[in-house]
Amino acid sequence: MYIPTIDDMKAAHARAKPYIHRTPVLTSGYLNELAGCEMFFKCENFQKAGAFKVRGASNAVFGLTDEQAKRGVATHSSGNHALSLSYAAGRRGIPCHVVMPRTAPQAKKDAVRGYGGIITECEPSTTSREEVFAKVHAETGADFVHPYNDPRVVAGQGTCSRELLEQMDDLGGALDAVIAPIGGGGMISGTCLTLSNLAPNVKIYAAEPEQADDAARSFKAGHIIADDAPVTVADGLKVPLKDLTWHFVSNHVTDILTASETEIVDAMRITWQRMKLVMEPSSAVPLATILKNKETFAGKRVGVIITGGNVDLSKLPWMEN
C-alpha cells in the first residue's frame, strides 16, 4: 500500500488547479452564537461538479499517461465521485465508466450523464456494487479510480485543507480544529495528510451519521468494521473505510463524533436558512455534531468542510413526512 506524501499533495494541487475552484470560506455570526465557537465554512458546495471530489478525480485523470488515458477511467460511487470523475475525464476528452446504485438520486444520475459519464446500475449494497464493477472494469480496461482508497485521490482531497490554511491568513489566523464528514474517509485522509504536515497543532475531527457509524465503531475497536448498506439521509456517507483511509484515520484523527438523522436535517435546514447555502445532507453532519458537543469546541476556531451541494431539490428531507 502506497501512502501519499505531502509532496504528492502539492503535485496534485499543481496538476488539478486549472480544473478546480479555489472555493470561498464563509462565516455566520448567527451560527457562531448558536454553537459557542467560531466556525469557518470551506464551501466545496461551490466546487466544480458541486463537490470536493473533483480535487482527487482531477489529480487521478490528469496524472495518467496518454497511453493509459486512451482506455478511459472507471469507478463505482454513490454520486459525487461519479460526477467529478466524469467532469475531469470530459475535460481530458476520455471516457468515464460509472457503476452507480439504481437508488441514487435521479438528479445525480442526470448530472453524471450531463458530464458525459456512462452509467451501469447496481443494487444499493457494497457487495453488488463491487461485483458489477469488476465486470465493467474487465470489459473496458479502463483505469480504476476508487472513490477514496487511492493515493491519487487522497492527495487530491488534501488540497482543500491547504487552501483553507492559506485563506485563514485573511480571517484572523490559525485554526484550533478542522471537522469534516466521514464516509469512506477520502476527505478526512486528505485533511490528515495536509494538516499533520503543514499545521500539526490543528486537531482533526470526523463527523458521521449515527445510522452509518461504522467509522466511529472502527475507531473505538482499533480495526476496520464495515456495514453493508446502512440507511441514512446523508447518502454520501454510507461506504466503509478501506486500508489507505484507515491508515490516516487511525493515526491522525482526534475523535469521530456522530449525530442522529433529525439532528443532521435540522443542521442542514438552519444552514440553508441562515447562510443561504444549498448543501447536501452529508455536509450538515459536522455542524450537527458541533451543536451536540458544544463543550468540545467551546471558544475554539473551527474549520468546517461543506463537502458538496448536489441535492435533489424536489425531495428535500424536511418536506418528507
Q: Which residues bind its own copies (CB under 8 A)?
A: 24, 26, 45-46, 50, 107, 269, 272-273, 275-279, 309, 313-314, 316, 318-319
The CA-based diameter of the chain, rounded to the nearest angstrom, is 55
Nearest to 161 by CA among 22, 14, 310: 22
Q: How far is the CB of 46 from its own copies (least distance, A)?
A: 6
Nearer of residues 16 and 216 to its own copies, judged by Cβ: 16
Q: How far is the CB of 50 from its own copies (least distance, A)?
A: 7
Nearest to 187 by CA among 131, 227, 245: 245
E strand or H helix that includes residue 255: strand 255-259
The CA distance from 176 to 20, in Å, is 27
Q: How far is the CB of 164 from its own copies (least distance, A)?
A: 17
Nearer of residues 1 and 319 to its own copies, judged by Cβ: 319
Residue 197, classified by CB atoms within 10 Å of its CB into exposed (0-12), middle (13-18) or buried (19+), is middle
E strand or H helix that includes residue 143: strand 143-144
E strand or H helix that includes residue 292: helix 281-292
Do 169 and 110 touch, CB atoms closer than 8 A? no
Nearer of residues 155 and 275 to its own copies, judged by Cβ: 275
The residue type at 46: F
Nearer of residues 32 and 197 to its own copies, judged by Cβ: 32
Q: How far is the CB of 155 from its own copies (least distance, A)?
A: 26
Q: How far is the CB of 308 from its own copies (least distance, A)?
A: 9
* Grid cell of 21 as nine digits: 475552484
Nearer of residues 65 and 314 to its own copies, judged by Cβ: 314
Nearer of residues 215 and 268 to its own copies, judged by Cβ: 268
Q: How far is the CB of 292 from its own copies (least distance, A)?
A: 22
Q: How far is the CB of 42 from its own copies (least distance, A)?
A: 14
Q: How far is the CB of 186 from its own copies (least distance, A)?
A: 21
Nearer of residues 177 and 275 to its own copies, judged by Cβ: 275
Burial 91-125 (b: 16+ CB within 10 A, else e): bbebbbbbbbbeebbebbbebbeebebbbebbebe
Nearest to 40 by CA among 235, 202, 192, 201: 202
Nearer of residues 45 and 157 to its own copies, judged by Cβ: 45
